[in-house]
Amino acid sequence: MTAAGGAQGYAARRTLPLRVEAVRQFRRRRTLVAFGILLVLPWVLVLAFQLGGDPGRDGEPGLVTVATSSALNFALFALFVSAGFLLVVAVALFCGDTVASEAGWSSLRYLLAAPVPRGRLLANKLAVALAYAAAAVVALPAMSLVAGTAAFGWGPVALPTGGSVPAGDALGRMALVVAYALVSELVVAALAFLLSVTTDSPLGAVGGAVGLVIVSNILDAVTALGAWRDFLPTHWMYAWTDALQPDVVWTGMAKGASLSVSYAVVLLALAFRRFRVRDITS
Amino acid sequence: MRIGEWRRWLAGGAVVAVLATGGAVWGLSDGGPPVRSVEQRVAVVDGPHDDQHVVLDTTFTAPRRPGRFPAVLLGHGFGGTKADVRGEAERLARDGYAVLTWSARGFGRSTGEIALDSPDYEVKDVRQLIDWLARRPDVRLDRPGDPRVGMTGESYGGAIALLTAAFDPRVDAVAPRITWNSLADALFPDAAAGGDASSGVFKKLWAGLFFSSGAGRSACGRFLPALCEQYQKAAEAGRPDAEVVATLRRSSPASYPGRIKVPALLVQGQTDSLFPLDQADANARLIAATGAPVSVAWYQGGHDGGDPETGRVDELVREFFDQRLRGDGGGPARFTVTRAGGIDSATQKTVVTAATAPGYPGTANRPRALALTGPVQPVHRPAGGEPASISALPGLGALGSLDALGGSALAGAVDVPGQSAVFDTAPLAEPVRLTGAATVRLRVAGPGDVPLFAKLYDVPPSGPAAPARRLAAPFSVARAGAGRDVTVTLPAMDRLFDRGHRLRVVVSTTDMGFATPPAPGTYRIAAAGPLTVPTVPALRAPAPGVPAWVWALPAAAVLVAAALLATGRVRRRDSFDPELADVPLEITGLTKAYRDGHLAVADLSFRVERGQVLGLLGPNGAGKTTSLRMTMGLIRPDAGEVRIFGHRVAPGAPVLSRLGSFVEGPGFLPHLSGRDNLDLYWRATGRPADDAHLEEALAVAGLGPALDRPVRAYSQGMRQRLAIAQAMLGLPDLLVLDEPANGLDPPQIREMRDVLRRYAATGRTVIVSSHLLSEVEQTCTHAVVMAGGRRVAAGPVAELTGAGRRLEDAFLEIIGEAP
């Protein structure tokens, strides 16, 4: 028996190790399906470009017009087309599902009675969910690089605004782009997590977070809101394209990261506060 | 200021009379302090002999508040009127300036004829407008008759600012925009070293547009007849003659060196083939030679279109006037270049950044030499000069500005095959930013005097070459028969040539914007030297700052989060009663009301001793499950407490690790097998694997081979047994089972009873809740009977049942008595 009254061998800091939680989540079908989609999508896009031919250089300068210039270009394009919705859904899935699904299966109460301290349970679940979400966000461009190299070859990045960046330099920019994409999804992750501890329905948590993104995008289209739109969680979603200008422009990314981190910190604090005192009736 | 001179001016007969005041007065209040405007006609006298009477249509706009304000004379462009600059005048007035706009003589409702900003005509008019300003009660005076006055305006209105400053010392500062230094050189340019307007190539398209916008319906319109005649002669010949060059030079600041001694801001357009950047460069040299501070700004717009950058130019001009007309008049001169820097991802608009350097270094600063390759190339000029290559087109506007984005898709510029020679540099190892006018030495051989056009292109590693700017530098080579070397200054510009790109010099025999001789000819052109590329490394674009909220917001968020977590904290009182250290469970005064007010458990107290199998008995809704959830730390009691082995139960209390529980159904991860579920559950408790006694628990579950199938495939009974096995993992000292018999068949129920009895026999304690009386009767040693959330009876089963009485009867009797 331990000093705090626990059974022999029990220590709160050893409960629910990250590895155990990772295994618990990994074998879920939705985890595998989400990763499957993200890993197959680049090949589908490659196929689309092969069938449809070169996107051409007419019209507005954009990532699509230079998508087939090189593997890095292709990866950036893949990220561009999926950042708005697909990655949001993936992140919301991993973070929104994690607590709510345990509540739905009733396994949450047994974990808490094991006992896994509530703060520790949330912290470790959040860490694992964020890791999976990050892996999802990274998996897509990583597989796109593989698919792009196979289909379009390795080479310098053609910038949509003209000019090019050598591949070595461009890899650094790519890392910056992915890092920003990760940070900008934090707000989605945090909201999904808050909903996850609030509701017992995993679908509600995931749907709620995705819904927020949709509503935010709609409001963002209302130009009459003026500067207020700067504070919408999705307003800076594509600020990472600033990393693809001849000189990296940091302003947008700084604003977006600041906003996302701020929302996330408050939402996560709400989640912990709520879960700490909540009666578990599931 | 020399008062004497001013007196002579007055004595000269110039009488300013206000013919009509208060023609219209209005106040404006949209955005910023209100301003008032007054229209009036001002009669002036001008002409070489001061004998021509002209009435100027003017508008005076000033802040509505009382006071004396520095004045700004704001001129309009050629072909326009004072109405064109009304918006700008109002913006300046809001910033505290008394602004006078006027329609120049020959334009709008002003009378007289166009004399092209001549010192004999327009300059005299404006000097009398300054007299008029000096009499205003709301205009700040330096001395009687000498108002504090700055002048600005675009193009025609900019040249009058420079020329007035050359002739009237009362002007304190000038900010001319996109205007000329030498009208002669602008309309008859010659980019060859030593060339001037007399050898220049006629800029026929722009000259035609320029003159026709002043001509109106008749051939000469409102031009001074003499002026019109000279222009027509030159245009017909396609070459300058001495007379027209002399006239144009009279209207040019270049002709009055040493006379413009006031601080100047020269704003010139990068998209301007009429008055290119070299015109501002010449003005800067002209004024700087007098010692006056000169700031230069190159912005994206110009006569050919492009981004007008209205806000930025306004800001530059206002800053300049604030510095020179308001404060101490000091402040450093600056060189500003705006650059198209890509696209703002949030707005999808081109971002234009302003790079600045202290002081204007001219257009030949820190040149780098880049070797040119290319053979001697024969080029021919077609008879009649058509088809001509195309560089700039007046009014090309939007197309021209697209190039600034680097979107070379719309190359647009056309070079006719056989008419141009091409010389390339090697691909650049590093990006080069050209700021200024590149020069190149060429060797030209051919019959007679040769007009040629030099242009600079940007050649990407793949894709078509694009003009660096849509500008051509015309130059003429006199007597080129035996071959002559000539140094040509290419159009001034600010342009980044990227790594791997080449710079290309194109020399063509024709250009649509210029007059070329109709006679055909063939020439040989060779590069006789490198391309010198001027750079201004001192130009620095300030890193676009991020607003303060970028840093403040996360900090505030962390504070809010800390506050949220700190205030929501429930004080965790680690409470241990040593006297109860051996009592598996003691519940005291336990009360829980749900949010809807339903009192689920009310003042419940009972105690369980070691080795007991306690039955928690009661009908559905008696509060059994709620009590057990509170025992597990899942629900917080409103009052009372639960102690397990003397430790008070709270969420996550370590003593819960001595409790094994199965409450309100099983909870498993459906995608994992039964074995994995138990394994992962035990690993989640963080306790040593050896303490699990997994095999004993699995024996209780009795699932056999099904243990390795996913739980989602299990029947309810199988899950139930697995859940009981999970509760027994680690052989907890206190085992709580809620309705364990549900879903079990009779033999399994019997086996369960044996298991529980054996379990209690080892000194451990079991609590079984059930609504099945027979179940409790057969399994339990003790019982607590609940109804309506209260304890209605407690004690050994034998006592409760009494002699020979069945528990069911006792139970019904107890329930019946319950309040």
Q: Can you name the residues that pair with B340 across neighbouring β-strands? A: B352
**Cβ contact, residue pair B544, A251, below 8 Å:** yes
pLDDT for res B403: 42
At the second CATH level, the architecture of B578-817 is: 3-Layer(aba) Sandwich (3.40)
pLDDT for res B27: 44
Q: Can you name the residues that pair with B443 across neighbouring β-strands? A: B485, B526
pLDDT for res B23: 39
The 3-class secondary structure across chain A, one letter per residue, is CCCCCCCCCCCHHHCCCHHHHHHHHHCCHHHHHHHHHHHHHHHHHHHHHHHHCCCCCCCCCCHHHHCCCCHHHHHHHHHHHHHCCHHHHHHHHHHHHHHHHHHHHCHHHHHHHCCCCHHHHHHHHHHHHHHHHHHHHHHHHHHHHHHHHHHHCCCCEECCCCCEECHHHHHHHHHHHHHHHHHHCHHHHHHHHHHHHHCCCHHHHHHHHHHHHHHHHHHHCCHHHHHHHHHCCCCCCCHHHHHHCCCCCCHHHHHHHHHHHHHHHHHHHHHHHHHHHCCCCC
Contacts (Cβ under 8 Å, ≥6 apart) of B773 = B617, B807, B808, B811
Contact B252, B181 (CB under 8 A): yes
Contacts (Cβ under 8 Å, ≥6 apart) of B637 = B590, B591, B592, B601, B630
pLDDT for res B18: 40
B576 vs A contacts (CB less than 8 Å): 5
Residue B569: exposure state from Cβ atoms within 10 A (0-12, 13-18, ≥19): exposed
Percent of chain B beyond pLDDT 90? Answer: 56
Among A82, A61, A89, A63, CA closest to A74: A63
Most distant CA pair in chain A, distance: 75
For residue A278, the tally of other CB atoms under 10 A from its CB is 15
In a domain, A35, yes or no: yes
In CATH terms, B368-533 corresponds, of 3.30.2270.10, 2.60.120.260, 3.40.50.720, 3.40.50.1000, to 2.60.120.260
Task: Report whether pLDDT(B19) > 50.
Answer: no
B544 vs A contacts (CB less than 8 Å): 249-251
A240 touching chain B per CB within 8 A: yes
Task: Report whether pLDDT(B679) > 90.
Answer: yes
Most confident of B11-25, B233-247, B407-421: B233-247
What span, in angstroms and rounded, lies between the C-alpha atoms of B750 and B772?
Answer: 14
Residue B214's pLDDT band (boundaries 50, 70, 90)? low
B582-to-B411, B649, B656, B757, B813 alpha-carbon distances in Å: 91, 15, 15, 20, 34
What span, in angstroms and rounded, lies between the C-alpha atoms of B162 and B139?
Answer: 21
pLDDT for res B400: 40
**Cβ contact, residue pair B549, A258, below 8 Å:** yes
Average pLDDT over residues B760-766: 91
What span, in angstroms and rounded, lies between the C-alpha atoms of B602 and B622?
Answer: 10
Average pLDDT over residues B802-818: 66
What span, in angstroms and rounded, lies between the C-alpha atoms of A82 and A143?
Answer: 13
Average pLDDT over residues B656-682: 93
CA closest to B541 among chain A residues:
A247
For residue A64, the tally of other CB atoms under 10 A from its CB is 17
What span, in angstroms and rounded, lies between the C-alpha atoms of B587 and B627?
Answer: 9
pLDDT for res A54: 62
pLDDT for res A139: 94
pLDDT for res A41: 94
Q: What's the domain range around A200?
A: 13-277
A57 vs B contacts (CB less than 8 Å): 409, 463
**Cβ contact, residue pair A258, B565, below 8 Å:** no
Contact A245, A255 (CB under 8 A): no
B685 vs A contacts (CB less than 8 Å): 10, 15, 114, 116
A180-184, B126-130, B244-248, B815-819: the lowest-pLDDT one:
B815-819
pLDDT for res B409: 36
pLDDT for res B402: 41
A252 touching chain B per CB within 8 A: yes
3-state secondary structure (DSSP) of residue B169: coil
Q: Which phi-psi region, left, alpha or beta, contains residue B388 (left: φ > 0; alpha: ψ -120 to 50)?
A: beta
Average pLDDT over residues A257-265: 96
Among B335, B325, B250, CA closest to B294: B335
pLDDT for res A224: 84
For residue B386, the tally of other CB atoms under 10 A from its CB is 11
What span, in angstroms and rounded, lies between the C-alpha atoms of B602 and B627?
Answer: 10
Task: Report whether pLDDT(A263) > 80.
Answer: yes
CA closest to B655 among chain A residues:
A6
What span, in angstroms and rounded, lies between the C-alpha atoms of B186 and B683?
Answer: 86
The dihedral sign for the CA sequence B399, B400, B403, B404: negative
What span, in angstroms and rounded, lies between the C-alpha atoms of B94 and B31?
Answer: 9
Residue B566: exposure state from Cβ atoms within 10 A (0-12, 13-18, ≥19): exposed
pLDDT for res A56: 55
Tens-digit pLDDT profile for residues A103-146 = 999 999 999 998 999 999 999 999 999 999 999 999 999 999 99
3-state secondary structure (DSSP) of residue B617: strand
Residue count (chain A): 282
* Total domains in the fold of chain A: 1
Could you give the strand order of the β-sheet that contains B659-662, starting from the edge strand earlier in sequence?
A: B659-662, B734-738, B765-770, B613-617, B782-787, B790-796
Among B143, B144, B183, CA closest to B163: B183
3-state secondary structure (DSSP) of residue B726: helix
B184-188, B257-261, B412-416, B674-678: the lowest-pLDDT one:
B412-416
Contacts (Cβ under 8 Å, ≥6 apart) of B639 = B589, B590, B591, B603
Domains B1-177 and B368-533 share a fold: no
Residues 82-111 of A with CB under 8 A from B: 105-111
**Structure pTM?**
0.73
Which two tokens mark B617?
């008995």
Helix or strand (DSSP H, E) at B313? helix B310-321
What span, in angstroms and rounded, lies between the C-alpha atoms of B492 and B181?
Answer: 15
Residue B378's pLDDT band (boundaries 50, 70, 90)? very high
Contacts (Cβ under 8 Å, ≥6 apart) of A246 = A159, A161, A162, A163, B341, B342, B406, B496, B498
Tens-digit pLDDT profile for residues B419-467 = 899 999 999 988 899 999 999 999 999 877 778 999 999 998 877 888 8
Q: What is the CA radius of gyration of chain B?
A: 48
Distance from CA of B680 to the nearest CA of A (A): 7
Contact A83, A63 (CB under 8 A): no
pLDDT for res B413: 62
Average pLDDT over residues A7-21: 91
pLDDT for res B21: 39
Tens-digit pLDDT profile for residues A61-110 = 567 778 888 899 999 999 988 988 899 999 999 999 999 999 999 999 99
pLDDT for res A109: 93
For residue B186, the tally of other CB atoms under 10 A from its CB is 26
Residue B569's pLDDT band (boundaries 50, 70, 90)? low
Q: Can you name the residues that pair with B294 across neighbouring β-strands? A: B264
Tens-digit pLDDT profile for residues A157-214 = 887 766 678 888 888 989 999 999 999 999 999 999 999 999 888 999 999 999 989 9
pLDDT for res B410: 40
- Residue type (1 letter), B618: G
A226 vs B contacts (CB less than 8 Å): none
The string of DSSP letters for B184-208 reads HHHHS---BTT--GGGPPP-HHHHH
Which two tokens mark B457?
């292109």
Of A10, A29, A163, the CB nearest to B657: A10
Contact B240, B234 (CB under 8 A): yes
pLDDT for res B42: 95
CA closest to A163 among chain B residues:
B498
Mean pLDDT value across chain B = 86
Task: Report whether pLDDT(A238) > 60.
Answer: yes
What span, in angstroms and rounded, lies between the C-alpha atoms of A184 and A259?
Answer: 8
Residue B818's pLDDT band (boundaries 50, 70, 90)? very low
Which two tokens mark A53?
């031919």
Tens-digit pLDDT profile for residues B496-507 = 998 889 999 999
Task: Report whether pLDDT(B22) > 50.
Answer: no
pLDDT for res B6: 43
What span, in angstroms and rounded, lies between the C-alpha atoms of B683 and A19?
Answer: 10
Q: If one looks up domain B1-177 in CATH, what number appears?
A: 3.40.50.1820
Q: Can you name the residues that pair with B435 across neighbouring β-strands? A: B494
Among B352, B355, B251, CA closest to B296: B355
User: What is the ipTM metric for this complex?
Assistant: 0.91
In a domain, A111, yes or no: yes
Size of interface A-B (CB pairs under 8 A): 243
Q: What's the first-to-final CA gap in chain B, in angstroms? A: 110
Residue B689: exposure state from Cβ atoms within 10 A (0-12, 13-18, ≥19): exposed
**Cβ contact, residue pair A265, B671, below 8 Å:** no
**Cβ contact, residue pair A276, B570, below 8 Å:** yes
B157-161, B516-520, B541-545, B765-769: the lowest-pLDDT one:
B541-545
Task: Report whether pLDDT(B545) > 80.
Answer: no
The dihedral sign for the CA sequence B172, B177, B183, B189: positive
Average pLDDT over residues B406-413: 43
B681 vs A contacts (CB less than 8 Å): 110-111, 114
Contact A24, A132 (CB under 8 A): no
3-state secondary structure (DSSP) of residue B752: helix
Q: What are phi and psi of B407, to 5 degrees?
A: -75, 90
The string of DSSP letters for B755-771 reads HHHHHHHTT-EEEEEES
